[in-house]
């Protein structure tokens, strides 16, 4: 028996396109670690140091040799991790949905599964960005006592500027992104010195956009994600941290200097062809996401621990 092309297809192209376009609005880890495609499940991370921001003497005399430059170097190894979940739609739901024209339960099952996978990725990205051991002593600080932003005598703007200058001194460029945990953002926006800067220009609460303008950054993002472990305990994914980083506004590929990337298998996440399971009386939608966040330019990042 000859099988048709639809019968041998193992990937659902329509639902895969939906999956690859999915973005969870409250998950901000991919701002620090933009997604770039890779074609192998393992290799070496392309890392960046000062040479990626160096001022090169490019001028040449007629007939003279042309200098060559190479950006990035192969650093520590990476191995993609594969997350896989299956969305389930009981047969009874399909029967009930038939009464409402236009309801696409298949797509809804995929999006629900992707939200779960996105939360796992957000957790991995946050853990990588907030681990102090990943930074050298010149690119991290930990606040305590009256230096915490919850204390009216502290100075959040001074702390942010110190972090920015540490990055500029290392790579010659200012960070353009600040990621604040929810705790850090709440402390910053309520700080008397911050509020005072806006008392003549706005009566509204301080927003991330206002902080970006105050601190001369392209963007400020707030990590609000919360997860729950098997025992039902809540996990504040971004904890009590602030991360300054340089990340290219428009990523062209892993060859461009950046604080980090999420190496992602090409064409992932992907949705395999749905199948019907008799025992569960359900349609099953398998989703696979092979990826790993990596630090590629730690000199272009600065970690502030326990700001609030």
* Residue 90 resides in a domain: yes
* Residue 127 resides in a domain: yes
* Residue 71 resides in a domain: no
* Residue 156 resides in a domain: yes
Distance CA 79, CA 129 (A): 18
Structure tokens at 172: 């010659």
Mean pLDDT of 280-294: 92
* Residue 59 resides in a domain: no
Beta-ladder partners of 290: 82
At 11-58, the pLDDT tens digits run 666 666 666 666 667 899 999 999 999 988 898 888 876 665 555 566
Distance CA 85, CA 271 (A): 10
| Residues spanned by the domain of 186 | 10-49+76-305
* Residue 268 resides in a domain: yes
Of 146-150, 212-216, 286-290, the poorest mean pLDDT is in: 286-290
What's the domain count of the chain?
1
CA 145, distance to chain mean position in Å, is 30
Helix (H, G, I), strand (E, B) or coil at 91: helix
pTM of the model: 0.83
Tell me how many helices (H) and strands (E) the chain has.
Answer: 9, 15
Count other C-beta atoms under 10 Å from residue 308's C-beta.
23
CATH number at residue 176: 3.90.1690.10
At 228-276, the pLDDT tens digits run 988 889 999 999 999 999 999 887 777 788 999 999 999 898 888 888 8
Distance CA 268, CA 36 (A): 11
Helix (H, G, I), strand (E, B) or coil at 267: coil
The angle formed by the CA atoms of residues 28, 238 and 230, to the nearest 5 degrees, is 105
* Residue 57 resides in a domain: no
What pLDDT does residue 6 have? 39
* Residue 55 resides in a domain: no
Cis before 247? omega within 30: no
Of 58-67, 96-105, 156-165, the poorest mean pLDDT is in: 96-105
């Amino acid at each position: 028996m000859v099988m048709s092309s639809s019968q041998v297809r193992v990937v659902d192209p329509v639902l895969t396109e939906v999956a690859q376009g999915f973005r969870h609005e409250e998950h901000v880890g991919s701002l620090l670690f933009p997604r770039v495609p890779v074609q192998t499940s393992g290799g070496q991370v392309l890392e960046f140091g000062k040479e990626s921001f160096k001022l090169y003497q490019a001028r040449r005399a007629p007939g003279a040799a042309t200098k060559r430059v190479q950006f990035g170097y192969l650093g520590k190894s990476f191995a993609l991790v594969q997350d896989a979940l299956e969305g389930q739609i009981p047969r009874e739901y399909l029967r009930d949905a038939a009464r409402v024209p236009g309801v696409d339960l298949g797509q809804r099952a995929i999006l629900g599964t992707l939200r779960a996978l996105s939360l796992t990725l957000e957790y991995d990205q946050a853990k990588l960005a907030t681990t102090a051991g990943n930074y050298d002593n010149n690119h991290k600080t930990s606040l305590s006592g009256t230096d915490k932003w919850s204390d009216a005598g502290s100075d959040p703007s001074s702390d942010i500027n110190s972090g920015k200058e540490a990055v500029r001194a290392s790579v010659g460029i200012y960070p353009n992104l600040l990621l604040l945990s929810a705790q850090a953002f709440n402390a910053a926006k309520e700080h008397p010195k911050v509020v005072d800067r806006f008392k003549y220009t706005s009566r509204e609460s301080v927003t991330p956009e206002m902080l970006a303008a105050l601190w001369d950054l392209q963007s400020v993002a707030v990590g609000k994600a919360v997860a729950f472990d098997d025992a039902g305990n809540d996990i504040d994914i971004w904890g009590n941290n602030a991360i300054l980083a340089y990340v290219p506004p428009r990523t062209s590929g892993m060859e461009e200097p950046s604080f980090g990337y999420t190496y992602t298998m090409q064409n992932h996440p992907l949705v395999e062809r749905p199948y019907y399971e008799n025992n569960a009386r359900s349609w099953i939608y398998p989703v696979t996401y092979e990826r790993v966040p990596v630090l590629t330019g730690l000199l272009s990042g600065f970690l502030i621990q326990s700001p609030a």
